[in-house]
Structure 1
Amino acid sequence: MTPHADLVIVGADVYTVDAARSWSDAVAVRGDRIVALGEPAVRELVGPRTRVIEARGGMVLPGFQDAHVHAPFAGRNRLNVDLNGLVGRRAYLDRIAAYAAGEPDRPWIVGGGWAMEYFPGGTPRKEDLDAIVPDRPVFLFNRDVHGAWVNSAALALAGITAATPDPPDGRIERDPRTGEPTGTLHEGAAYSFNDRHVPLPSREEWEDAILDAQAHLHSLGITGWQDAWVTPATLDAYRSLDSAGRLTARVVGALWWDRHRGLDQIPEFLGQRETGTARFRPTTVKIMTDGVMENYTGALLEPYCDGCGGHTANHGLTYVEPDLLAAAVTELDRLGFQTHLHAIGDRAVRNALDAVQAARTANGPGDRRHHIAHLQLVHPDDVPRFRALGVTANCQAYWAQMEPQMEELTLPFLGRDRADLQYPFGDLLRSGATLAMGSDWSVTTANPLEEIEVAVTRVDPENRDNAPFLPEQALPLPVALAAFTAGSAYVNHDADAGTIAVGNRADLAVLDRNLFARAAGPAADARVDYTITEGSVVYERP
């Protein structure tokens, strides 16, 4: 007699995301595996102890996988000063002041999530923080984690004055008349400050942060992710959580490449890779090749405009020189590592592709599944190279919309011709590239449905009357769904997930509606009713 199922889902439209994009109408799960599809077969497996989820009018998808997320740091923000989701300078200051008043014994005020668009020139000032927290250092990363807002106490503690030189990989924002630091640290200036002065969380604090982030991601239908910034401390926290049975997601860890070092760090990655667990596999290395457009550190082939119709001499920053980048990717590839390359500007994208090409030339084709994230500006000559080199385009689709940061801090400094080359996801699809999707949370929303809506419409879900941003680069709904499921599972070397098939791991998301139905409305209006990992319900909408 065939054993009964532990869990069945009936009444919903089941979108398998297989190669044929086929549909079913029911799923049965036993243990951690899918054991049947289709209502007749599924009904036969219902027994007295089978949990039956009636999902009438709903939709079952493979669990979403986020190919680029910062779960520990996002969770840490949520447990400290979380500015994500707030609108404007006043709201930020009110939240910071309330947190500081409620935590009078904390020696530091830390957190992040502020947006550059709410400050003149994208740079907040120390005086605002001094007025509400004069007695303790404050350090708050911005939402894209490429800059930090600090108060006078923090600057004094670090000894940063008008005489302090800028680091080679960053900038201290200064008063143009006096040279005094104004309270914003960019790129390497922010990272070095954080590394040297901000107290490190304990392993228990990192565990709490990861668990908070995991609960939030599960509530959005996410069953696995690639953590795009794994440090030795967060690696230990992931391992500890899995050993204790508290990590319910599948996580690939991207070990952080220290751009101030060279190939000498690779043996350390080899040792860290050996510490992986069943649900946490540190098999990738993350390399930041440039910064971001908004603070003019994204690496460009041609210099930035000055915002007034002319050009500057600034081409942005290259954090890992092309020869070293090629050598690093080649050696990592030879040793079996995947590389996860941050590239915002067109020069950074070209350098990253050149590095993968060097690895293929030296080592031959393999199955490392190297991927390049962000891809804000891609030169048309480089679009077909993704398919030719087997490089996955890791798309942060939510960014491909017209919003204040784009309007005020990006378009004037790129110029019209380059502005039209941003986030070319449609061109990448038409060229045959493999697409994956990630949120970069907590930079922006972790909600895959909001990100998928922007991928399809190129419009902000909160301002749906806006004109679409470069609509020719929009993706069809089936492609966007596949990128956030099968595409990201492919990047994560997760052959047991990303599609719904008998024998696959039972990682599933149940939505309250079929996104393809005529009356469904926009994707971001849908809600996740259940999230299932390895056959267990880890989230149920209240």
Structure 2
Amino acid sequence: MSADKLFINGKIYTVNKDQEWAQAVAVEGNRIVYVGDRDGAEALCDENTKICDLEGKMMLPGFIDGHCHPVMAAHYLCGVYLQIEWSPEECLAEIQRFVKEHPESDTYFGIGYAEWMFDETGPKKELLDAICPDKPMMILGSSAHEAWVNTKALELAGITRDTPDPIPGFHYFHRDGEGNPTGHLLEMATQNMIMENINFFDADKIEEVLAAASDGYAAMGVTSTCDMGAPEFVMPAYFETVPEMIEKGSYKQRFVGCGRMVSEKSDVEIVMPRLRRYKETYDTDQFRINFLKIINDGTLETRSAALSQPYDEDGSMVKPLFTREEIAQLGVEAAKEGLNINVHGIGDEAISGTLAMAKAVREAGYEDCRITNSHCDYVKDEELELFGKYNVIANTTCVWHYGNPDMEKVIGDRQNHTFRIKTMIKGGCRMGQGSDFPVDEFGREPLKGIEMGCTRQLFNHPELPVLKPYEEKLSVKDGIESYTINNAYQMHMDDRLGSIEAGKYADLVILEKNIFDVPLSEIHKVKVCETIMDGKTVYKS
């Protein structure tokens, strides 16, 4: 055997516990064929082998975004894009600018405002009416778990004081004293009621935005994406556009996903039969559908996360979508079908449901089912160790791990006991990371996530507070593993991805510096020099 490419003279970190560092990596086609010392690699070389001198740069396995929504993002990012640090006045000014520059549009859509900048009653429709009274407008919050609409959008969707809330107290319309909708929508069922009646999206732009997002991922060193769900209206792009783009090379990452997510109990009857078909139909290492995604609560910012104690701000309580018995039954059903499971669980009560489900799945004998709790904001003290006990992957977004005094008014001192991932790792838990793109807030770059997991402080802002508890700071090794081998395990592809080992796919990223050697606060500044997916260069600086 001879190698096509031989990489030498670099800091090659393999993420293989049996051989963490190597002198050389040989690639033949789309596979790694040798990892080890230079002498052994050169035995595979002939006159046709390309010698790639890393010149001291760092090589890692390609990064995997373990929780994102790129297909949904391709729809949502076609409109106005607000920044999470902006004030209400700045957001309104940007919305007004966008409307003025796009007078030809029949509808207006956007995303990104900080959901904590308004009080618990949320933003009002009159603010948008003053900008655009005659065309429907919808702006999603930074987590996409709430929305802000104008009067015209409510009118065209037929939403009135007599419209019942989909799930009172969870998926609902904020209302004034007379019961009229105020323009503030909580959770996805209410958003769907608007979108089913109003088309906010230009189909011609969706593939263009999706391709740009994929190019962006390649420039960040990302070689695989785990799409953790989308609403019904994006399904055509999910199962038609993405496979076509992968075939022609304009989507440059492996794609593992779930299709439509379960965000209401009634969704189960729709989603489960589909997943049985998808699992058989879409099963290649480039495009695979093998996850059941369950939304079991909302977010802390929107006051819709399921907590065991009331919110400090207003004394409200939110229950998980599923009881522990219900989600356990659904989890066992999914495991029986050979599906992996990903649960959105942010509040401690919702996370208790994930752990109860995991216990039921393991006791039913399904040890190989990959179970993930996404986000993992607030976990009960006594349940931290259960992630390891029941082999539940803790997938989180470390660019959210920073001190945020604005959240203390919402949940009080509990804000200083969030994201206790280091304790969970010590208890035997695998930690994965994902950006939650397009609601990543501060960027989807893995290097930002690695840095902020270590510092628990917003990058480039040393003056801002560090998130407590300080002892929950991660190591650089933890961060790298979270974006490589642990996410590969979540994908059920750790035998093919996630580390630099002979026999695995040649999915690789080359960085200008060894991130073990740079100051923690400088990690996000390290440049990606080259990204290789399936043996082919998809980005080079």
Q: Is the CA contact (8 Å cut-off) linking 1:84 and 1:442 kept in structure 2?
A: no
Q: 1:178 offset after TM fit, Å?
A: 5.0
The amino acid of 2:306's aligned partner reads: A
Q: 1:449 offset after TM fit, Å?
A: 0.8
CA–CA distance in 1 between the matches of 2:22 and 2:302? 48
The amino acid of 2:293's aligned partner reads: K
SS at match of 2:432: strand
CA–CA distance in 1 between the matches of 2:173 and 2:335? 36
The amino acid of 2:141's aligned partner reads: N
Q: 1:475 offset after TM fit, Å?
A: 1.1
2:267 aligned with 1:259, yes or no? no
Relative to structure 1, is the Cα distance of residues 267 and 203 closer, same or farther in structure 2, using a 3 angstrom cutoff?
Answer: farther
Q: What residue is the counterpart of 1:124 in the other structure?
A: 123
Q: 1:223 offset after TM fit, Å?
A: 0.5
SS at match of 1:376: coil
Q: Is the CA contact (8 Å cut-off) linking 2:448 and 2:523 kept in structure 1?
A: yes
Q: 1:204 offset after TM fit, Å?
A: 5.9
One of 24, 30, 33 as aligned partner of 1:32: 30
Q: What residue is the counterpart of 1:276 in the other structure?
A: 282
Q: Is the CA contact (8 Å cut-off) linking 1:73 and 1:209 kept in structure 2?
A: no
Q: What residue is the counterpart of 1:496 in the other structure?
A: 496
Q: Is the CA contact (8 Å cut-off) linking 2:78 and 2:206 kept in structure 1?
A: no
Q: Is the CA contact (8 Å cut-off) linking 1:167 and 1:188 kept in structure 2?
A: no
Q: 1:519 offset after TM fit, Å?
A: 6.1
The amino acid of 1:369's aligned partner reads: R
CA–CA distance in 2 between the matches of 1:461 and 1:81? 25
CA–CA distance in 1 between the matches of 2:228 and 2:9? 37
Q: What residue is the counterpart of 2:293 in the other structure?
A: 286
Could you tell me which runs of 5 or more consecutive residues in structure 2 were left unpaired when the two chains were aligned: none
SS at match of 2:105: coil
One of 390, 413, 429 as aligned partner of 2:410: 413
Q: 1:329 offset after TM fit, Å?
A: 0.7
Q: Give CA-to-partner distance per residue, 1:383-434, whole Å, 9 cap, x none.
A: 111111111111222212113xxx22x3233332x33431110110111111
Relative to structure 1, is the Cα distance of residues 10 and 94 closer, same or farther in structure 2, using a 3 angstrom cutoff?
Answer: farther
Q: Is the CA contact (8 Å cut-off) linking 1:291 and 1:317 kept in structure 2?
A: no
Q: 1:270 offset after TM fit, Å?
A: 0.5
One of 441, 465, 468 as aligned partner of 1:467: 465
2:159 aligned with 1:160, yes or no? yes
Q: How does 1:336-355 map to 2 (within 5 A)?
A: 336-355=338-357
SS at match of 1:522: helix
2:367 aligned with 1:366, yes or no? yes
Q: What residue is the counterpart of 2:425 in the other structure?
A: 429
SS at match of 1:332: helix
Relative to structure 1, is the Cα distance of residues 53 and 474 closer, same or farther in structure 2, using a 3 angstrom cutoff?
Answer: same
Q: Is the CA contact (8 Å cut-off) linking 1:72 and 1:209 kept in structure 2?
A: no
Q: 1:195 offset after TM fit, Å?
A: 4.0
Q: 1:285 offset after TM fit, Å?
A: 0.7
The amino acid of 1:261's aligned partner reads: S
The amino acid of 2:73's aligned partner reads: A
Q: 1:366 offset after TM fit, Å?
A: 2.3
CA–CA distance in 2 between the matches of 1:225 and 1:439? 10
CA–CA distance in 2 between the matches of 1:329 and 1:250? 26
Relative to structure 1, is the Cα distance of residues 212 and 518 closer, same or farther in structure 2, using a 3 angstrom cutoff?
Answer: closer
Q: What residue is the counterpart of 1:186 in the other structure?
A: 186
SS at match of 1:100: helix
SS at match of 2:487: helix
Q: Give CA-to-partner distance per residue, 1:437-466, whole Å, 9 cap, x none.
A: 111112112111111111111111131233
SS at match of 1:320: coil
CA–CA distance in 2 between the matches of 1:145 and 1:398? 17
The amino acid of 2:321's aligned partner reads: Y
The amino acid of 1:249's aligned partner reads: Q
SS at match of 2:499: coil
Q: What residue is the counterpart of 1:236 in the other structure?
A: 240
Q: 1:121 offset after TM fit, Å?
A: 4.7
CA–CA distance in 2 between the matches of 1:178 and 1:262? 31
Relative to structure 1, is the Cα distance of residues 136 and 43 closer, same or farther in structure 2, using a 3 angstrom cutoff?
Answer: farther
Q: Is the CA contact (8 Å cut-off) linking 2:84 and 2:142 kept in structure 1?
A: no
2:178 aligned with 1:173, yes or no? no
Q: Give CA-to-partner distance per residue, 1:292-345, whole Å, 9 cap, x none.
A: 1122211112222236xxxx2x32132223332121111111110011000011
Greater Cα shift, 226-235 or 193-202: 193-202
CA–CA distance in 2 between the matches of 1:274 and 1:201? 31
Relative to structure 1, is the Cα distance of residues 277 and 284 closer, same or farther in structure 2, using a 3 angstrom cutoff?
Answer: same
Q: What residue is the counterpart of 1:299 in the other structure?
A: 306
- What number of residue pairs does the alignment pair up? 527
CA–CA distance in 2 between the matches of 1:464 and 1:493? 38
SS at match of 1:229: coil
The amino acid of 2:370's aligned partner reads: R
CA–CA distance in 2 between the matches of 1:454 and 1:159? 44
The amino acid of 2:445's aligned partner reads: N
Q: Is the CA contact (8 Å cut-off) linking 1:239 and 1:276 kept in structure 2?
A: no
The amino acid of 1:87's aligned partner reads: W
Q: 1:130 offset after TM fit, Å?
A: 2.2
CA–CA distance in 2 between the matches of 1:122 and 1:477? 40
Q: 1:485 offset after TM fit, Å?
A: 0.6
CA–CA distance in 1 between the matches of 2:64 and 2:121? 32
Q: 1:351 offset after TM fit, Å?
A: 0.9
CA–CA distance in 2 between the matches of 1:527 and 1:102? 35
Could you tell me which runs of 5 or more consecutive residues in structure 1 were left unpaired when the two chains were aligned: none
Q: Is the CA contact (8 Å cut-off) linking 1:28 and 1:34 kept in structure 2?
A: yes
Q: Give CA-to-partner distance per residue, 1:58-107, whole Å, 9 cap, x none.
A: 21110111111011122333333222467333443343334333433322
SS at match of 2:33: strand
CA–CA distance in 2 between the matches of 1:49 and 1:201? 49
Q: Is the CA contact (8 Å cut-off) linking 1:343 and 1:349 kept in structure 2?
A: yes
Q: Is the CA contact (8 Å cut-off) linking 1:514 and 1:520 kept in structure 2?
A: no
CA–CA distance in 1 between the matches of 2:38 and 2:93? 53
Q: What residue is the counterpart of 2:77 in the other structure?
A: 78
Q: What residue is the counterpart of 1:534 in the other structure?
A: 534
Relative to structure 1, is the Cα distance of residues 477 and 190 closer, same or farther in structure 2, using a 3 angstrom cutoff?
Answer: same
One of 416, 436, 442 as aligned partner of 1:440: 436
Q: Is the CA contact (8 Å cut-off) linking 1:530 and 1:540 kept in structure 2?
A: yes
